[in-house]
Amino acid sequence: MWAKWVVRVLAGVYIVGGVATLLAPEVMGRFTRWFGNHPRLMRLDAVLVTALGALLALREYREEKPPPPWWRRWLGA
């Protein structure tokens, strides 16, 4: 239970962080000074982190069984 939750949260954090770095590398550069001096490496890191988050999310949702239809839940069938 907790392991799946942690993986989902990490996937979300990775995707948001990667997209934020791609869209605003100067702003994110304040957090990581070394990457701020090397914008190409920062963009590469953003692409890799976003891809890692997407792979984690895909793996997590691929393993999950789809929920039953709403009418089965309501009727108890």
pLDDT in tens, 10-64: 777 778 777 777 777 666 666 666 666 777 877 887 788 888 888 888 877 776 6
**pLDDT over 70 (residue 75):** yes
pLDDT of residue 28: 65
pLDDT of residue 77: 61
pLDDT-derived band at 1, boundaries 50, 70, 90: low
Beta strand ranges found along 1-77 (DSSP E):
none
* Distance (Å, whole) CA 21 – CA 43: 7
The residue among 24, 67, 15, 60 whose CA lies nearest residue 42 is: 24
